[in-house]
Structure 1
Amino acid sequence: MSAATTVPPSRSAPDDAARAGAPIGASRAYAFLLFLGGLVGLAASAVLTFDKLRILENPSYVPNCNINPVISCGSVMRTEQAEVFGFPNPLLGLAAFGALAAIGAGLLAGAAYRRWFWLGLNAGTAVGVGFAHWLIYQALYDIGALCPYCMVVWATVVVLFWYTTLHNLRSGVIPVGPRLGVVVREAARYHWALPVLWAAVIALLVLNRFWYYWSTLL
């Protein structure tokens, strides 16, 4: 299967549209991914928000995702890291993922956005990835517990960041020279490889950090 089939190019002529400042659309595959990823992240954030409110209402409340000493949402939700900005982190997810789902829906309907918008979207997903990885570090090496819904959010953010970056590279929003253009084409051809590798690294970190527990299940 060719790269053009697996990851269809933007509707606008890439470099010419970007240089002219014309609105740039997106492939239906990317638009659907953005829409679906936004909905998945929104659902996970909604569950986390609901459970956090229940904990605030009743400190003895036990979320249904408290499965064992390692997979324990309640342990994560009761930490300072769960309220980095003074309010529950999932509220950020409700706003951010809701916006991403709306953008994806707009693209599916035929919307096109200017270069500054795409760069802003890329910057926003990059910030989301940075924040997610800070939370991953905190969960593994400070809190010592994992939240399944949080892990869904981590995975969603990584995927949306990668495909947004790839879209911007292919559409000319982020200009690249001829040599890097070859790299971008190969990255688009094997677009699934980086997210899979990314997830594998995180899975290995989780496996190593909690091996003391996983080994008891063998």
Structure 2
Amino acid sequence: MVLTGVIGWLAAFQLAVEHWRVLKDPSHQASCDISPVVGCGSVMTGAQGNVFGFPDMLLGLGAFAAVAALGVAVLGGARLHRRVWLGLNAGALAGVVFVHWLIYQSFYVLGRICPYCAVVWVVTIALFWYVTLRNLRSGVLPVPAAGRGLLDLLLDTHWMLPAAWYGLIAVLALTRFWSYWSSLL
């Protein structure tokens, strides 16, 4: 949790800095605008970057700071209440749903891959997956007796589902922007 919180917060912070620089100087070339396909300038200033009426990265700054703080507390020996774990799981689920909407918007509406956003995608998926596994293993989320075998399999192969998940997103990025990627070869 500490790692996902810190990395996610740093990516959200960098997006906030770039957003502020663009607001201050509309001609500013964002550090993440690397190519015609890889860039965050148009992503963060468009409607998709301000879904709730304020810059999306502000959600990330708050949420990832909370995740990092909870992770530090757990590492320090704190025993979080079941409701805190459920709240974290619900927040991570909301985050992963939002991230997948943003992935779709990025690939198929805006036609850009925001590198800092992609970092947020990666850590949000990892956070959701590992918090959910932790909650299933500890009984915060109940598992029927018939599902214990599947849970044991998921715990034994915990890295496989996120790897496949990331692989699917990479394949989508590869196929969506194939004409650009192939021009680099």
User: How does the TM-score come out when normalised to structure 1?
Assistant: 0.83
SS at match of 2:119: helix
Alpha-carbon displacement from aligned partner over 1:175-196 (angstroms, at most 9, x marks no partner) = 1122201111110000000110
> Offset at 1:37?
0.8
> Offset at 1:57?
0.6
The reply on whether 1:64 has 2:31 as its aligned counterpart is yes
Q: Separation in 1 of the partners of 2:46 and 2:137?
A: 41
The one-letter amino acid of 2:55's match is P
> Offset at 1:120?
1.0
Instruction: Considering Cα pairs closer than 8 Å and 6+ residues apart, tell me whether 1 or 2 has the greater RCO.
Output: 1
Alpha-carbon displacement from aligned partner over 1:115-160 (angstroms, at most 9, x marks no partner) = 2211111000000000000000000110011110100000000000
CA RMSD in angstroms, aligned pairs only: 0.7
Structure 1 residues 1-218: aligned runs within 5 Å: 34-218=1-185
> Offset at 1:64?
1.3
Identity %: 51
The one-letter amino acid of 2:29's match is V
Q: Separation in 2 of the partners of 1:62 and 1:78?
A: 13
Q: Separation in 2 of the partners of 1:97 and 1:78?
A: 21
The aligned residue for residue 29 of structure 1 is: none
Q: Separation in 2 of the partners of 1:176 and 1:156?
A: 25
Q: Separation in 2 of the partners of 1:137 and 1:104?
A: 30
Q: Separation in 1 of the partners of 2:42 and 2:83?
A: 40
Q: Which stretches in structure 1 are left out of the alignment for 5+ residues?
A: 1-33
The one-letter amino acid of 1:186's match is L
User: How does the TM-score come out when normalised to structure 2?
Assistant: 0.98
Q: Which stretches in structure 2 are left out of the alignment for 5+ residues?
A: none
Q: Separation in 2 of the partners of 1:185 and 1:131?
A: 29
Q: Which one is further off, 151-160 or 73-82?
A: 73-82
Q: Runs of 4 or more off by more than 2 Å in structure 1?
A: none
Alpha-carbon displacement from aligned partner over 1:75-104 (angstroms, at most 9, x marks no partner) = 212211111111111010000000000000
Bigger Cα Rg: 1
Q: Separation in 2 of the partners of 1:201 and 1:190?
A: 18
